[in-house]
Amino acid sequence: MYTQYKRELLEACQSLAEQGYFGAQSGSGGNVSVLIEGEDRVVITPSGMPYVNLTEDDLCVVDMEQRRIEGPHEPSVETALHLSVYRHRRDVNAVVHTHQPYASVFAVLNEPIPALFDEVAISIGPTVEVVPYALSGSPELLANVVSKLDNRNHCYLMQNHGALSIGVRLDKAVQYAELLEKVAAIYWRALAAGKPISVLPDPIPQALFGLVTAKQDAEIARKDRLLSKE
């Protein structure tokens, strides 16, 4: 079941793995999930399996109570985190957690990334904030992530851990992860130059972000209409 969701998830994982977004091309760091339309179920990557070797049959399906519905392996140890994102951000239908290099630089520096380009403000948000550290898979990490979701951004840095990118579709969440890596690499190189950093002037970031929240509201309204028809 859920063949199309599994196929898209596998393709996204393999693309990100080829770019080294999971810590190593042969690594298993990070996790990716997609919400199944019209059902309280999620397709998510299994725990501890290298992405380069994954098949569609390896992927897990769980319900919102974290019960495994399909898949021969244990789902990611951070499944509860993914489910919490879906509960707290109804505009979100895909979650991508990576260990991508440049974003991870700022995760260990505990340093937010400001809005440097229009495309970042209109896609990710005015600032990429840092989620305070907690052990992977712990209730504390889940709570720390949830505490940041109200800013409605699409990307977050996870202190001493990696990055979290979320979106209305899986391809959008992947795109945000890639855009985050671009801006993190540029910001790092700009800081290394030792010269003042030029950020977008106020109120441009918030004005552009209004276009983002409007799309989020439209997705929430779409889901509400579907529920009303059931």
Task: Please state whether the peptide bond connecting residue 196 to the residue before it is cis, i.e. omega within 30 degrees of 0.
Answer: no
Could you identify the residue written with the tokens 């276009």? 211
Q: Measure CA of the first residue to CA of the last residue in the chain; give whole Å.
A: 22
Cβ atoms of 30 and 23 within 8 Å: the answer is: yes
Q: Letter for the amino acid at 87?
A: R
Instruction: Tell me if residue 78 is catalytic.
Output: yes
Listing DSSP states for 55-122 in one string gives -GGG-EEEETT--EEE-SSPBPTTHHHHHHHHHH-TT--EEEEE--HHHHHHHHHT--EE--SHHHHT
Cβ atoms of 64 and 79 within 8 Å: the answer is: no
Sheet containing 60-63, strands listed edge to edge, beginning at the edge strand earlier in sequence: 68-70, 60-63, 41-44, 31-35, 94-98, 162-167, 155-158, 130-131
The one catalytic residue among 56, 70, 78, 119: 78
Question: Can you read off the two tokens belonging to residue 5?
Answer: 């969701």
Q: Which residues are catalytic?
A: 78
